[in-house]
Structure 1
Amino acid sequence: MKRLPIAALAAFAAITALAPAASADIGPLHVVAMGDSYASGTGAGDYQPGTEGNCWRSNNSYSEQIVARVRARGTSVQFTNVTCSGAATSDLYKDFLGQGPQLDALQVDTNVVLLTIGTNDIGYAAYGGLCIQADCSGAPTQAITAKLPDMAKNVGQLLQDIHARSPHAKIVLSAYGSQLSPDANADGKLDPICDASVFSAQERTEGNALASKLNKTLQDTAYRAHLGGIDTAFVSEYAADSVHLNSTFAGHSLCQAGTPFYRGFDALAPGQEGPDAVLHLNKAGQTALADLIMAKA
């Protein structure tokens, strides 16, 4: 296969900056979306047939939205979405929830890989459940924080393996943000998850400190991959300091004044996704993340 030196640059420009369609001799963009529930769009609704209750693959996920926007500008995109709720880094190498290995979607001519992964390596969802049902402050928070270095190793190895299979691809690793405000509740009608009987002030403080450390760990992992010659970009809901949210996400965590970008106990209502979607990005949050990726990656 003939590879043009400009191909990868033109391809990623089309994804992130809505550049005009690539020329005919380059051909379509080859884009692969991989990862866990934040990548699949669990909580964002409009799920693809056969994925409700397992992978929860949403047509409102950030990757689906990005590809739709690029196609709307006339760029031809060959898109493969293999994201699946519940996936840890190790699950991308093997069959998972009836799906084949996510890594098998990669080809030598893949141009862009959109990826969110890491929290299932540390049991982040179970930690959130503990916070809701009991008390996750103190030892539980310390225990999950201690797992971050191993998560970093896993994600770092995954980035290397993606690069080995798709050596010309731009890898865009996105993060998770801050699901719950660390501050007092805003005025007005809020989701029941904001009640002090669900998350104590201490749990909010420690949970947000953990979310910040999680973000910094992923940021550093992506940076190390970049220094190692892997074309990697990190896109986060946080500012560069991994402490404050950026302007797109500031004010939109649960219990804040802005429109929430995350699902709370509304996901437990009849006809909704149930516990799988609690503390996950909703459609508005996935849209905001798509905006960030296209602007900053």
Structure 2
Amino acid sequence: MKPQRWTAVAAAAAAFFGLTLTAGAAPASAQEAAPAYVALGDSYSSGVGAGDYDPDSGDCKRSANAYPQLWSAANAPSSFDFVACSGATTDDVLSGQLDALSDATGVVSISIGGNDVGFADTMTTCALNGEAACLERVAEARAYVTDTLPARLDGVYDAIKAKAPSAKVVVLGYPRFYQLEGSCNAGLSEASRAAINSAADDLSTVTQDRATSHGFSYGDLRPAFTGHEICSSDWWLHSVSVPDVGQSYHPTEEGQSGGYYTVMEGLV
């Protein structure tokens, strides 16, 4: 790969989690209002990669095509607080986003954990330092998912339950990033891509375990994105994106509508 392309990959990875059509949905005016809805989480919930960002959201990059916006438009909640923010960690949710919750909150959605695990650094390592370094860094990320992340997720989920005790809480995961069959000019070896997918599987397993243990619904995005990964014939994820490197490795508008929104709608 050319040096400038490696630079783009690294810059994209540094913004990695930093996370449209509603065809068939009944018009909001034709439906009874849904309960008050609050959308928490990281860039996969704010809609990085889906375009049409609210200028007032600044670096949080909240998209009009993000699944929380789509769900709100289709279900007409009595109120809608969209506080998900690019780059958010579990600490960020605890220190600010939870202020949007109250006893009156009826629906909560959240994707969180990717930034805690350090996938940005992992992708940078994989892009710049070759297969051996990539596999080592992925192993470190997987160890964090197993050993440290569960307690961090518990802290967030406990706080959500305390702040919004009557809410229906939907925890959304992350897709696998790569289709492995056949050749793919994605800048990483097949072994590296397989390792990254395995780390995503670990993250899904741990997140589902902790979410369901709190009585929350878990939305597994892996089935929805099967056949739409990077290197498939119909990508719902950005690979390296130039000049807007910040959207790299994030769902496209189709990924938000066909993947995240569809899963969310099926759980509420």
TM-score range, shorter chain: 0.7 to 0.9
Which of residues 216, 239, 264 is equivalent to 1:293? 264
* 2:86 equivalent in structure 1: 85
Spell out, residue by residue over 1:209-263, the C-alpha distance to the aligned partner (whole angstroms, 9 max, x if none). 111111111111112112xxxxx1000113xxxxxxx2x3211001112x21101
Q: Who is 1:253 aligned against?
A: 229
Q: In structure 2, what is the equivalent of residue 237 of structure 1?
A: 221
Q: Distance in 2 between matches of 1:133 and 1:56?
A: 27
2:203 counterpart of 1:214: yes
Structure 2: gaps (5+ residues):
1-24
Q: Which has the higher contact order (CA 8 A, sep 6+)?
A: 2
Pairwise CA distance, 1:28: 5.7
Kept in 2: contact 1:182–1:208 (CA 8 A): no
Cα deviation 1:79-129 (Å, max 9, x = unaligned) = 0000100010001233xxxxxx11100111100001010111111122122
How many Å separate the matches in 2 of 1:50 and 1:130? Answer: 33
Larger helix proportion, structure 1 or 2?
2
The answer to whether residue 158 in structure 2 is matched with residue 146 in structure 1 is no
Q: How many residues were matched structurally? A: 238
Counterpart pick for 2:123 among 128, 135, 140: 128
* Distance across 2 between alignment mates of 1:182 and 1:130: 20
Give the equivalent residue in structure 2 for 1:63. 68
Give the letter aligned to residue 156 of structure 1: D
Aligned positions of 1:35-54 closer than 5 A: 35-52=41-58, 54=59
* Cα separation, 2, equivalents of 1:119 and 1:236: 14
What is the distance in 2 between the residues matched to 1:234 and 1:213? 15
Preserved CA contact (<8 Å) 2:65 2:253: yes
Partner Cα separation in structure 1 for residue 135 and residue 112 of structure 2: 25
CA distance in 2, matches of 1:84, 1:133: 27
Which residue of structure 2 aligns with residue 176 of structure 1?
174
Is residue 2:108 matched to residue 1:113?
Answer: yes
> After TM superposition, where is structure 1 displaced by more than 3 Å over at least 4 residues in a row?
17-22
* Partner residue of 1:195 out of 185, 193, 199: 185
**Partner Cα distance (1:43, 1:255) in 2:** 17
> C-alpha distance in 2, partners of 1:281/1:261?
6
Code of the residue aligned with 2:180 in structure 1: it is P
Letter aligned with residue 113 of structure 1:
V
- Taking the aligned partners of 1:137 and 1:61, their CA distance within structure 2 comes to 31
Which of 237, 243, 264 does residue 239 from structure 2 map onto?
264
Q: Over the residues paired in the alignment, what is the CA RMSD in angstroms?
A: 1.9
Identical pairs, percent: 29
Unaligned runs of 5+ in 1: 1-16, 95-100, 186-193, 227-231, 239-245
